Chain A
Amino acid sequence: MSDELFRIWVYLSATPLLGLTLTLVAYQIGMVIAARAEFHPLANPVLIAMSIIAVLLWATQTPYKTYFEGAQFVHFLLGTATVALAVPFFERIAALRRNAVALVIGLIAGATATLAVAIALATLLGASPASVASLIPKTVTAPIAMGISEAIGGIPTLSAVFCIVTGIVGAASGKVIFDWLGIKSMTIRGFSLGANAHGIGTARAYLVSAEAGAFAGLALGLHGILASLVLPWAAKWIS
């Protein structure tokens, strides 16, 4: 009996089906919990889903590579979703034109501030130069960050990790910070989430309102373009 079960497990764990199904199931559990918590920022569905899966992989001694063979089908759609963000962006182009100056200056100010603080703090606390370099593109969406990291002497995988952590931190803390500053405009709240917490912040903004989501997507796109152009050049100039 247990031999039979083991045989089935060995077979299933080698097919992409298991990783893919696990991803969808864990995400829906995450969504149910997040909904129960009335979408409290700390009940982030991504965080819940990835914790469930990580614990399961650890408990069954399944390598990440095996899991990813199934999960890659979901992961792949990140690029497609980035293209799809053009739709909400286009639908709000009039509001964008009205607020373009405020948004672009806000984006540059935030990006500069976060970069300066991150480099200064990490250096001060004794992080290695490679870690600090990997930290630089953390506010950009992960696939872009990995490219930038490579160009400026960081470690791309490490940058991807920092990106995800940044996204989760941003998505979890945006509400508290905006409320504290008394910022009510969904345009600004969404834009700031997209600018500082890229895709995960954008996903969070979508949970709150379509307006916030659209501006988060816009910020993500703008930041991706600006950072790809400026960061490698700035890094060369500094070093």
Chain B
Amino acid sequence: MDSPILRGFTLLLLLQLAGEAVSRGLSLPIAGPIVGFVLAAIALWAVPLLREPLKAAAGALLPHLSLLFVPAGVGVVLYLKELRQDGLAIIVAILVSTWIGLATTAWVGEKLLPKSPKTTAGAGDTDESRS
């Protein structure tokens, strides 16, 4: 039986494997999964046949992206007590710097965003104002 999700998942693993191989093989400073991301983008562009299965697999995996951070998150909770010394300094630094980073990226991006006139806005990318 032919299943696009299974084919897509196999493709994702192959691309991840290729990404790791390229990253290690060429001793790139870029991590394997990110090389895999680039390879996958190239594959999607160059080989239209791969689009359907990759879309099916990504559509199954990405809505649950949050889940994948849970194991690492648990490690963090248990690690927190080791931070006691620098804890306060680090927490304050992370809070404030993250807020400033979010605001800066959004503000600069918004200022520089080409003002697309409402009349020509594409149907696909205007689910704005919802949040």
Spell out A's residues near B (CB within 8 Å).
23-24, 26-27, 30-31, 44-47, 49-51, 53-54, 57-58, 64, 67-68, 71-72, 74-75, 77-95, 98-99, 101-103, 105-107, 109-111, 113-115, 117-119, 121-122, 125-128, 131, 135, 138-139, 142-144, 147, 151, 157-158, 160-162, 164-170, 173-175, 177-179, 181, 183-189, 191-193, 195-197, 199-200, 202-204, 206-211, 213, 217, 219, 221, 224-225, 228-229, 232
Contact = CB atoms under 8 A, between A and B. Distances in A.
A82 B34 CA distance: 7
A189 B131 contact: yes
B106 interface: yes
Contacts of B3: none
B16 to A, nearest CB: 5
Interface string B31-73: 1111011111101110000010011011101110111111111
27 contacts: A24-B67, A27-B70, A46-B73, A57-B74, A64-B78, A74-B71, A82-B33, A83-B15, A83-B33, A87-B54, A88-B62, A105-B108, A110-B106, A113-B100, A117-B101, A118-B96, A157-B79, A164-B73, A170-B98, A170-B102, A183-B107, A184-B129, A185-B113, A188-B110, A192-B105, A206-B62, A217-B62
A45 B66 contact: yes
Contacts of B104: 106, 109-110, 113-114
Given A57-B78, A98-B114, A127-B86, 18 more contacts: A53-B70, A54-B74, A64-B74, A80-B9, A87-B44, A102-B113, A105-B112, A106-B109, A111-B101, A125-B89, A125-B93, A139-B98, A161-B80, A169-B95, A175-B131, A186-B127, A196-B98, A199-B65
Interface of B: 9, 12-13, 15-16, 19, 29-34, 36-41, 43-45, 51, 54-55, 57-59, 61-63, 65-80, 83, 85-86, 88-114, 116, 122, 124-125, 127-131
A110 B99 CA distance: 10
Contacts of A210: 127
Interface of B is mostly: helix
B34 A115 contact: no
